[in-house]
Amino acid sequence: MGKRANNQSTGKAANKKAKADPALASVADVISQAEHLPERCRTMLIDMLPFSLSVPSEQRHGVQTWAVSAVEETLNGHKSLLEAAISSEDGKLTTLKASEVDLVQAVAEAESALNAQKDVVQSTKCSLAESTEVANTASKTLLTVQEEQKAGKIKLASATEEKATFEASFQAHFKTPMEEGACPNFKELQPLLKHIEMEASLLKALPSSCSKSKDDRGSFDEVVLQELAKALASKIAALGEIMVVETPAAVEREAAVQVAEKDHDEKREAQKHAAATFEGAMKEQSDREAALVKAKRAVDEFQPQVDAVTGLLEKAKTTLATFETGPLHSFTKYKTLVGVTEDAAPLGA
């Protein structure tokens, strides 16, 4: 009975020291972070720490040995996670550094592509200017032939109408009365006089000569009337010549207008195509400018990214080192602990 009481007293003292030991507390912190374990299991392992690790290895019974093994497995799992974190960050850093060449190459390619596109833009701009000039010339040509056609139509219509008027008036108010021996109708003929060529003296005598019948006319009157007839006939003939010339010319002008319209439409369509090509080239240049900005931004951001990943890698290494020199080192000492007496100082101190 005395020996059993002594063992219980020794165990209580050891447990008291274990609870106050910062080394065991650091191990407990690691166990509390083992999220792959159920919360009840973590709590149980933490509670068992002072009753297992603090007991010398040769004095541990089965449950205590199991608890030490479970804690060791948990710590090794935590170490594996820390090593995996280092490996992950190291891999990221290696991949990131390897991308530097590609980033620089991307900038060079973007600059080359932009310069090439600028040449395309300049070429399409010149093509647009040329097609615009050609289209404008075609527009002017079309306007010219349309105006010529319009003027020709007016001239032909005027000549046709005027000839018909002269012929009708000549017949009704000069020939017919003269054939009947009567007086020419000067009042009806008078509007025509300003359109014929006749000596001024004869024109001045017309009112008097036209007012006389055949029997009352003198030789001068006959001369005056004959010259009037010649002038009217000459005018009608001149109008007829205009019609002879203008009628086929109107056909030619119509054909010229059709040709000019077709040419104008083709040139305008070519101009529209050139404008669309130029617009597309400008859009492509804008896209390539944006790509160059993006590529340069990636280069600018490269070193900060390297620094950031390097910082995370160093932090992961420091965390592992702290774990290995702290909780894991303390656990290893306690795991192999032998012959600890009540008066011995904790190994983690």
220 lies in a domain? Answer: no
pLDDT in the model for residue 295:
93
- Give the whole-angstrom CA distance, residue 36 versus residue 74: 9
The radius of gyration of the chain's CA atoms, rounded to the nearest angstrom, is 60
| Residue whose tokens read 């009352």 | 216
59 lies in a domain? Answer: yes
257 lies in a domain? Answer: no
25 lies in a domain? Answer: yes
pLDDT in tens, 33-76: 888 888 999 899 888 888 888 888 888 898 888 989 989 899 99
Expressed as residue numbers, the domain containing 95 is 2-105+316-335
**Number of domains observed in the structure of the chain:** 1
pLDDT in the model for residue 213:
87
48 lies in a domain? Answer: yes
191 lies in a domain? Answer: no
Q: pLDDT digit of tens for each residue in the chain (349 aa)?
A: 344 444 444 344 444 444 557 888 888 899 998 888 889 998 998 888 888 888 888 888 988 889 899 898 999 999 999 999 999 999 999 998 888 899 999 999 999 999 999 999 999 999 999 999 999 999 999 999 999 999 999 999 999 999 999 999 999 999 999 988 899 999 999 999 998 999 998 989 999 999 988 888 899 999 999 999 999 999 999 999 999 999 999 999 999 999 999 999 999 999 999 999 999 999 999 999 999 999 999 999 988 999 999 999 999 999 999 989 998 898 898 888 765 444 444 444 3
pLDDT in the model for residue 35:
86
88 lies in a domain? Answer: yes
89 lies in a domain? Answer: yes
Q: And the tokens for 342?
A: 């009540």
pTM over 0.75: no
